[in-house]
Chains A and B, each alone.
Chain A
Amino acid sequence: MPEAMTSAMPSAMTHRHYRVARHAAQPVLRPASAFNFPLVTPRDYAAITDLLPVGADAPVLLDHAQYFEWLARVVGELRAQLPGARIFLELRMPSVGSLPEGLLRADVLMGAELAAEAAFWAAHGAAPVVWIGDRIRRELDHAADNTLAIAVAPPAAVATVEAVVARPWPAHAITIVSTAPSPSPTRPTP
Chain B
Amino acid sequence: MTARLELRALTYRRLPPGSCRAAGLDEAARALGALIGREAAAVASDHAIDDYVVSSTILSALLMDGSPCSRALRDELARHAGRAVDWLTHAYECAGWGYVMRHVLHKAQVSGPRTLLLQIVDVDIHDFTYWYANPQWGESGFGISTLVLRVEPGEAWPLALGAEAPASAMVQMGRALREFSLARRGVPVAVPFFREASRKLLLKRLDGAPVHADGYARFGHSFGSDPWISVLLGAPAPGKTIVNSLALYGYFSIAEVEIARGAHLQLSADA
Write the residues of chain A forming the contact surface with B, with a CB cutoff of 8 angstroms.
2-8, 37-41, 43-44, 47-48, 50-51, 89, 91-95, 97-99, 101, 103-104, 106, 109-114, 116-117, 120, 124-125, 142-143, 190
How far is A112 from B8 in the complex, measured between Cα atoms in Å?
Answer: 26
Contact with A along B70-89 (1 / 0, CB 8 A): 10001000000000111111
Choice from A51, A120, A190 contacting B62 with Cβ under 8 Å: A51
Number of A-B contacts (CB under 8 A): 109
Which of chain B's residues 86-103 have a Cβ closer than 8 Å to chain A? 86-92, 99, 102-103
23 contacts between A and B (CB under 8 A): A4-B67, A6-B66, A38-B130, A39-B130, A40-B129, A48-B126, A89-B91, A92-B64, A93-B61, A95-B249, A97-B249, A98-B250, A104-B92, A104-B161, A109-B89, A109-B103, A112-B65, A112-B70, A112-B88, A113-B87, A120-B107, A142-B61, A143-B67
Q: A44-B129, A114-B87 are in contact. List 14 more A-B contacts (CB 8 A).
A: A5-B66, A44-B130, A50-B126, A51-B126, A98-B249, A104-B92, A106-B106, A112-B89, A113-B66, A113-B88, A124-B107, A124-B111, A143-B67, A190-B84
Write the residues of chain B forming the contact surface with A, with a CB cutoff of 8 angstroms.
25, 61-62, 64-70, 74, 84-92, 99, 102-103, 106-107, 110-111, 126-130, 161, 163, 165-166, 249-251
Provided the pairs A2-B69, A50-B126, A112-B65 are in contact, do residues A125 and B110 lie with their beta carbons within 8 angstroms? yes
Are B87 and A50 in contact, with the CB atoms below 8 A?
no
Minimum distance in angstroms from B88 CB to a CB of chain A: 5
Minimum distance in angstroms from A131 CB to a CB of chain B: 12
Chain A residues near B87: list those with CB within 8 A: 111-114, 116-117
Choice from B25, B67, B70, B110 contacting A124 with Cβ under 8 Å: B110
How far is A79 from B74 in the complex, measured between Cα atoms in Å?
Answer: 32
Shortest Cβ distance from A100 into B: residue: B163
Chain A residues near B86: list those with CB within 8 A: 113, 116-117
